[in-house]
Amino acid sequence: IKRLKELRGMLMEAEPSVAVTVRKLVMVSLMEIFKDIVPSYKIRPLTPAERSAKVKKETQQLREFEEGLVSQYKFYLEDLEQTVRDWKQKKRKRSQAVAFDSYLGLAEVAVRCLVELLLALPHFNFHNNIIVMLVPLMNDPVRKVSQLCCEAFRKLFHQDKLGDASLGAVRVISGLVKSLNYNIRPEVLRTLLSLRIKEVEVKKDTEDTAPKKKFMNYKEKKKNLSRMQRKWKKAEEKLEKELLEAEASESKDKKIKLHTETLNIVFLIYFRILKKAQKSVLLPAVLEGLAKFAHLINLEFFDDLLSVLQDLIQSGDLTNRESLHCIQTAFNILSGQGDVLNIDPLKFYSHLYKTLLRLHAGAPNDDIIIVLQCLDVMLTRRRKQVSLQRAMAFVKRLSTLSLHVLPNASVGILASNRAVLHAFPKCDLLLDNEVQGSGFFLPELDEPEHCNPQNTALWELHSLQRHFHPAVRRFAVHLCLGAPSDGSAALSVDLSRRSPVELFEDYSVKDMTFNPPVATPSTKKKDRFGGGVMLLDSDLQSRVERALTATEGGALDFTAAHTHTHTQSDT
């Protein structure tokens, strides 16, 4: 501990020629030392009674070590915080005592040390203080610092299994959003997407949460045990059952309670922005977060949230991606607890149907992954609530969309069509070119229920059979033959068992290369071109031979050859 104090004193190095370098090295060295020597538990302060009590020499040494460790750790964190604060004040005052670039470099190292301690010691003392220091820096104008802090909190949320550290961070983020009047970077809100929240309802029944253990029944006890042994066995099993139930329910209840409180704060942030700052740049991040956590929202908020989403879509102010997130949120609500509600979200179906043709192979190609997720929830999982007309209309429009997107998007779309064909077997009407009813197909109508899709055919599949991408060709042939599950036209296992979203990502072309790569041509080359003589008529062949003969004797005289040719033609 004395050596720690000496090392920490070097943070005050005043020699101008080495001050910056020494301070940086000391910061990093102390950070690595604390990561190594900090225990795996939180050190609490001793009570007056504990201090006055007599203890063993080893225990007293341990107490002194722990007190010194906590004290030096606290002073070290204060030094890091002061370094960052000096940088911020330096930015305002423009004092010429030390170069601003030096302060910026020191502050970056201090932030990196705080980030390392945030992730490495979430169980130890002053972790909430580190969170309070780093959260405002997530919105710092210096992009390098803000990205470093945002990435740190993403990792913290991802590795936090219990949820205690996540709850503390989300509380501070909520306070920051409110204090800055929603004038923050969207990346700050996008860090919330890394939260590991899958369950928020507390289960009342302890039998469901307790681990199952096999206990002896009455016949087994009577056969194998004496009367006294049965009595002891009964008392022992009762005690074991109570202990198991208490242990399991306590840990699970604590985790669910933390997750519930965390999610309530997250929804509070989202709903405030939807209510007060709908025109801000935060709206896409809010809609993306709602799309992920919507299935965990309480039933009492469903009606209000669906009406807000519908108003946002009808306003016409949203981009395609934002509209798709609204649709995804609505159907995640209806597929979770909202499954008990008797609601037909026809307007959301119509809006997705209308949005499909706005997508193309440019920047919106990445939006296809949201479309694929929406289609899974809207058509495949809700097959009992969807009419055949609506399903056929979507299959037709998706086939049209697959013609003008990148190959990985075409594969994903065709895989979605395959899933719809399996969910609605009567959609095979689209594989027949005969008219199936009155009216004719209206491809430009944006109402899937009334565009008469039964009177058209999937001619796009024949074009896709000549696509350069092998997976697209394979899917097109498979769908043309009715998407069979076995036989020569069936898909291979690696294609049939993967979801449309997985196929979209597996065949991604983000690195601007063919995926899968194009086969290299054969290396066998012929020494000379054979059969060339057979391509020439006799007159042209004689001219070629005369020209070759002339070149053997010397240079070829093009003027003489041209005059000779004209003389022959005149003759």
3-state secondary structure string, 432-446?
Answer: CCCCCCCCCCCCCCC
| End residue of a domain, out of 73, 106, 134 | 134
Res 534: pLDDT: 54
Rounded average pLDDT over 55-73? 88
Residue 18 lies in a domain: yes
Residue 125 lies in a domain: yes
Q: Please tell me whether residues 227 and 376 are part of one structural domain.
A: no
Residue 63 lies in a domain: yes
Q: Please tell me whether residues 119 and 218 are part of one structural domain.
A: no
Whether the CB-CB separation of 471 and 495 falls below 8 Å is answered with: yes
Written as six digits, the tokens of 530 are 């054979």
Q: With bands split at pLDDT 50, 70 and 90, how would you rate the model's confidence at 521?
A: confident
Most confident of the following: 91-95, 213-217, 398-402, 546-550 = 398-402
| End residue of a domain, out of 184, 218, 244 | 244
Distance, in Å, from the CA atom of 399 to the CA atom of 410, rounded to the nearest integer, reads 9
Q: Please count the other Cβ atoms lying within 10 Å of the Cβ belonging to residue 229.
A: 11
Taken in order 253, 259, 262, 267, is the CA torsion positive or negative? negative
- The predicted-structure confidence for 32-60, as pLDDT tens digits, reads as follows 999 999 988 888 888 888 888 888 888 88
Report the Cα 259 to chain-centroid distance in Å.
20
Q: With bands split at pLDDT 50, 70 and 90, how would you rate the model's confidence at 256?
A: confident
Residue 253 lies in a domain: no
Q: Please tell me whether residues 219 and 363 are part of one structural domain.
A: no
Whether the CB-CB separation of 483 and 425 falls below 8 Å is answered with: no
Written as six digits, the tokens of 191 are 């860090």
- Report the number of distinct structural domains present in the chain: 3
- The predicted-structure confidence for 427-485, as pLDDT tens digits, reads as follows 988 988 776 677 788 989 989 988 988 888 999 999 999 999 999 999 999 999 988 88
Q: Please tell me whether residues 348 and 472 are part of one structural domain.
A: yes
Res 220: pLDDT: 63
Residue 496 lies in a domain: yes
Distance, in Å, from the CA atom of 549 to the CA atom of 501, rounded to the nearest integer, reads 68
Place of tokens 């929202």: 297
Q: Please count the other Cβ atoms lying within 10 Å of the Cβ belonging to residue 3.
A: 9
Domain with 213, as residue range(s), is 208-244
Rounded average pLDDT over 197-207? 54
Res 209: pLDDT: 38
Q: Please tell me whether residues 129 and 216 are part of one structural domain.
A: no
- The predicted-structure confidence for 535-544, as pLDDT tens digits, reads as follows 567 788 888 8
Residue 145 lies in a domain: no
Q: Please tell me whether residues 349 and 434 are part of one structural domain.
A: yes
Res 99: pLDDT: 61
Residue 174 lies in a domain: no
Res 149: pLDDT: 94
Distance, in Å, from the CA atom of 128 to the CA atom of 54, rounded to the nearest integer, reads 33
Instruction: From residue 266, give the alpha-carbon distance in Å to each of 166, 286, 472, 566.
Output: 11, 10, 41, 90
Whether the CB-CB separation of 271 and 264 falls below 8 Å is answered with: no
| End residue of a domain, out of 134, 161, 196 | 134
Res 535: pLDDT: 56
Written as six digits, the tokens of 54 are 């007599």
Provide the residue type at 40 as one letter: S
Look at the pTM and tell me if it is higher than 0.85.
Answer: no
Rounded average pLDDT over 236-250? 67
Whether the CB-CB separation of 381 and 373 falls below 8 Å is answered with: no
Q: Please tell me whether residues 503 and 357 are part of one structural domain.
A: yes
Supply angle C-alpha 254, 259, 260, rounded to 5.
100
Q: Please tell me whether residues 115 and 215 are part of one structural domain.
A: no
Whether the CB-CB separation of 471 and 411 falls below 8 Å is answered with: yes
Residue 77 lies in a domain: yes
Q: Please tell me whether residues 354 and 479 are part of one structural domain.
A: yes
